[in-house]
Every structure is written in structure tokens, then in C-alpha cells.
Amino acid sequence: MGLETNQLSGTLHESIGKLSQLTYLDLSYNMLNGTIPLSIGSLSQLTNLDISSNNFHGPLPEFNLSKLKNLDLSGNRLSGTVPVSIGKLSQLGSLYLFSNKLSGTIP
């Protein structure tokens, strides 16, 4: 689902996790805010997730998405540490976390 570069605003609802066959989600360059819903971890078919350049804040959720190849969370206000689960994403080829408020080490 490509919804990048629109003027979408508000929060990303927990019901996003019900899109169980979703493989591609690009919500970059919008005006979304709030925290990243935990239900995003239910998208087991997801290979590409880009929610960069929004106003998401708070900690990163655990990402147990074994098929994930590309993850871009850059340009938000995410804080806390990088979850250990990101280091276990064996298919991950690209990871962008810059321009956030993250701390600690990368697993």
C-alpha cells in the first residue's frame, strides 16, 4: 500500500494489524503522529515498511517480522533504545533510523 507524500494526519490505528496479507506499506512524508501501533508486528507478510518523515514518537515496538527486507523509520521523533528484535530480522537488507532521538546500541 503506497500512501506516501500525501497530507495524511492523525494517528495510525491498531487495526492496521488486521491487514494480514499486506507486503508493502509506505506512509512516508505525511503528517502522521502518535506512537507506532504494536499491531504492526502482526503483519507477518510485510517485506517493506516505510513510515519515515512523519511525527511518530515514543519507543520502537518489537519487530518480529521475519520477511522484512527494508525498514525506514527515519525523520520522526522516536526515542528509547533499538529493540533487540531488529537485530534478529535475518532478511533485513536496509535499515534507516536517522533523525530520531534513539539511544544505546544497535543489536
Residue 41 belongs to domain spanning? 9-103
CA–CA separation, 62 and 85 (whole Å): 6
| 94 occurs within a structural domain | yes
| 26 occurs within a structural domain | yes
Q: Give pLDDT tens digits for 9-23.
A: 999 999 999 999 999
Task: Indicate the pTM of the whole model.
Answer: 0.94
Look up residue 33 and give its three cell numbers: 503522529
At 106 the pLDDT is 82
Helices assigned H by DSSP within 1-107: none
- Based on the structure, what is the number of domains in the chain? 1
| CATH number, domain with residue 44 | 3.80.10.10
| 3 occurs within a structural domain | no
Give the residue-averaged pLDDT of 41-66: 95
Q: Which long-range contacts (CB under 8 A, 24 or more apart) does 66-74 make?
A: 66/90, 66/91, 67/23, 67/91, 68/92, 69/93, 69/94, 70/94, 71/95, 71/96, 72/28, 72/96, 73/36, 73/97, 73/100, 74/98, 74/99, 74/100
| 61 occurs within a structural domain | yes
